[in-house]
Amino acid sequence: MRFCLNVDHIATLRNARGEVQPDPVTFALMAEQYGVDGIVVHLREDRRHINERDVRLLRELVTTKLDLEMAAVNEIIDIACDIQPELATLVPERRQELTTEGGINVIDNIDQIRSAIERLHESEIPVSIFIEPDINQIDAAVEINADFIEIHTGNYANAVSEEDIFEELERIRIAAKHAKKLGLGVNAGHGLDYNNMKEFLAIEEIDEVSIGHAVLARSMFVGVEQAVKEMIKIIRHR
Ligand code: PXP
* Domain positions in the chain: 2-236
Residue 112 to residue 20: CA distance in whole angstroms? 36
pLDDT at 100: 64
Contacts of 206 (CB under 8 A, 6+ apart): 1, 151, 172, 176, 186, 187, 188, 200
Ligand 1 site residues (CB inside 6 A) read 6, 8, 42, 69, 89, 91, 99-100, 130, 150, 189-192, 210-214
Q: What is the DSSP letter of 86?
A: S
Asked if residues 90 and 43 have their Cβ atoms less than 8 Å apart, the reply is no
pLDDT at 84: 98
190 counts as catalytic: yes
pLDDT at 12: 97
Long-range contacts of 134-137 (CB under 8 A, 24+ apart): 134/103, 134/175, 135/174, 135/175, 135/178, 136/107, 137/103, 137/105, 137/106, 137/107
Q: Is the peptide bond before 24 cis (omega within 30 degrees of 0)?
A: no
Asked if residues 66 and 85 have their Cβ atoms less than 8 Å apart, the reply is yes
pLDDT at 97: 67
pTM passes above 0.75: yes
Q: How far is the CA of 102 from the centre of ligand 1 (A)?
A: 10
Which residues does residue 130 pair with via DSSP β-bridges, in sequence order?
Answer: 150
Locate the ligand 1 atom nearest the alpha carbon of residue 211 and give its number.
16
- DSSP-derived 3-state class of residue 108: coil
Residue 75 CB neighbours (<10 A): 10
162 counts as catalytic: no
| Number of alpha carbons in the 13 Å side-chain half-sphere of residue 106 | 27
| Ranges under pLDDT 70 in the chain | 95-100, 238
Q: From its phi and psi, is residue 230 left (phi > 0), alpha (psi between -120 and 50) or beta?
A: alpha
Residue 68 CB neighbours (<10 A): 26
Q: What share of the chain is helix, strand, coil (3-state, %, to 5)?
A: 50, 15, 35
Locate the ligand 1 atom nearest the alpha carbon of residue 6 and give its number.
11
Residue 208 to residue 186: CA distance in whole angstroms? 7
CATH number of 2-236: 3.20.20.70
pLDDT at 102: 87
Return phi, psi of residue 42, to 5°.
-110, 110
